[in-house]
């Protein structure tokens, strides 16, 4: 195949306090400015990826343009002063000890944006797992426009039940020293990175080639005639969509120019195995406010075919703290959350109201005590459902699941040039 995942020219600090260098993903802790204030104080004047990203808690601040200019200036300064060590045609095997003690393993490399399409209904080799909100791309694009460096917090999932791609790379530890090994700040655990040798890179490519076999792909999911989904974006989809938009704009501005080898054609990501025990899916619950609860539930029962007869899809509604288990008999999606979200969106469009996305059933029960409010507690999505649902439905509704707590999201570490 034309490799969708390949080596990258990776940059890492030649000399730095790596605990201060690595910071959490920019789209985390958006409601906790105190978190980012602590990070700012912890980093101080030390070199840090904090100077190369825009934490989204600051997106609505009046000085956002000044912050973006400062980011671009930090990139120019680091590149111009020989701050980075260069690793050409590299892949990095990563072991991340999460805050819960579980070890998440992955491989950092370059993903081909020509083979990625985040739109619903995409049949590309690389697809989004959740619906992409177009309005979330422009603020990120402002940072990428004029940037010379990208940093990844994107986690891309592969459905490798036999553990043939990532896990064999652990043998590197027997004969290779890590290129970084550091504690992560703010309870983020610990991370180590090992440079893959030529042998390991070829093994990774061969294993991905085998996973990409279309006949085997269709047999795996009991389907027929579907194009292969090899890579599903599990976390950081809007950042990857921004890289795609940047590249598409570059092509549009350079008609006739060969950009096949331009660095912006690729984005630095970490691929992880869906079947890694450290990868856990947690349902994101719903609270609907500003509605006539009796009318809302009457319409839900009618449209979704809700009753207490067993079926494959179920949902718990919560009004004034009282829970009611119902089963969906008129599904519009492969998952309960998809069928429910379709109804909520349609109801609000016609009748008004608002939906919010909540972590934790206890919070749903508490919020449901308010007037004109309905809460919904959804079952956790099983790992076996993810790829099958994306294949058949195109993408999950936004806020379908969470891949763990904010402290366990990917921290920025590796860098890569995207200009030429």
Place of tokens 């177009």: 134
pLDDT at 1: 46
pLDDT at 133: 77
Confidence of residue 31 (pLDDT cuts 50, 70, 90): confident
Task: Summarize pLDDT for 303-347 with one digit per residue, the tens.
Answer: 999 999 999 999 999 999 999 999 999 999 888 998 999 999 999
Tell me the average pLDDT across 87-110. 97
Task: Summarize pLDDT for 44-60 with one digit per residue, the tens.
Answer: 999 999 999 999 999 88
Burial class (CB in 10 A: 0-12, 13-18, 19+), 115: middle
Exposure on the CB side of residue 353, measured as CA atoms within 13 A: 26
**Percent of residues, the chain, with pLDDT higher than 90:** 81
pLDDT at 243: 96
Buried b / exposed e along 78-101 (16+ C-beta atoms within 10 A): bbeeebbeebeebbbbbbbbbbee
Tell me the average pLDDT across 398-404. 81
Residues 6 or more apart whose CB falls under 8 angstroms from that of 157 comprise: 129, 231, 232, 233, 234, 271, 272, 273, 274, 279, 386
Residues 6 or more apart whose CB falls under 8 angstroms from that of 353 comprise: 288, 289, 290, 291, 296, 347
pLDDT, averaged across the chain: 94
pLDDT at 360: 80
Residues 6 or more apart whose CB falls under 8 angstroms from that of 323 comprise: 316, 317, 365, 377
Helix (H) or strand (E) holding 366: helix 361-367
pLDDT at 406: 84
Tally: H helices and E strands in the chain:
11, 21
């Amino acid at each position: 195949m034309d490799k969708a995942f390949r080596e990258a020219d990776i940059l890492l600090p030649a000399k730095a306090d790596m605990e201060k260098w690595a910071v959490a993903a920019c789209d985390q802790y958006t409601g906790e400015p105190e978190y980012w204030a602590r990070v700012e104080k912890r980093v101080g004047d030390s070199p840090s990826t904090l100077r190369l990203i825009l934490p989204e808690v600051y997106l609505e601040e009046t000085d956002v343009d000044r912050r973006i200019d400062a980011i671009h200036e930090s990139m120019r300064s680091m590149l111009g002063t020989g701050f980075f060590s260069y690793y050409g045609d590299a892949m990095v095997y990563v072991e991340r000890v999460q805050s819960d003690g579980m070890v998440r393993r992955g491989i950092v490399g370059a993903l081909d944006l020509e083979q990625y399409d985040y739109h619903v209904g995409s049949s590309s080799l690389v697809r989004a797992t959740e619906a992409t909100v177009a309005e979330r791309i422009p603020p990120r694009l402002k940072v990428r426009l004029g940037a010379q460096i990208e940093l990844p917090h994107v986690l891309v999932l592969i459905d490798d039940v036999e553990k043939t791609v990532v896990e064999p790379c652990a043998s590197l530890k027997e004969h290779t020293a890590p290129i970084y090994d550091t504690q992560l700040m703010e309870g983020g655990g610990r991370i180590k990175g090992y440079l893959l040798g030529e042998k390991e890179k070829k093994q990774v490519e061969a294993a991905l080639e085998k996973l990409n076999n279309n006949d085997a792909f269709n047999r795996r999911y009991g389907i027929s005639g579907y194009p292969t989904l090899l890579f599903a974006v599990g976390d950081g989809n809007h950042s990857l969509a921004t890289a795609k938009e940047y590249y598409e704009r570059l092509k549009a501005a350079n008609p006739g120019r060969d950009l096949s080898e331009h660095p912006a054609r690729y984005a630095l990501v970490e691929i992880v195995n869906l079947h890694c025990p450290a990868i856990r899916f947690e349902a994101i619950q719903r609270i609907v406010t500003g509605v006539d609860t009796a009318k809302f539930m009457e319409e839900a029962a009618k449209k979704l075919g809700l009753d207490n007869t067993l079926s494959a899809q179920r949902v718990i509604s919560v009004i004034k703290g009282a829970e009611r288990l119902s089963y969906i008999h008129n599904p519009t999606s492969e998952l309960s959350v998809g069928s429910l979200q379709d109804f909520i969106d349609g109801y609000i469009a016609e009748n008004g109201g608002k939906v919010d996305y909540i972590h934790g059933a206890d919070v749903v029960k508490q919020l449901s005590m308010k007037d004109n409010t309905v809460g919904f507690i959804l079952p956790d999505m099983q790992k076996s459902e993810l790829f099958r649902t994306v294949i058949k439905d195109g993408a999950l509704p936004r806020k379908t699941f969470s891949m763990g707590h904010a402290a366990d999201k990917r921290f920025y570490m590796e860098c890569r040039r995207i200009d030429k």
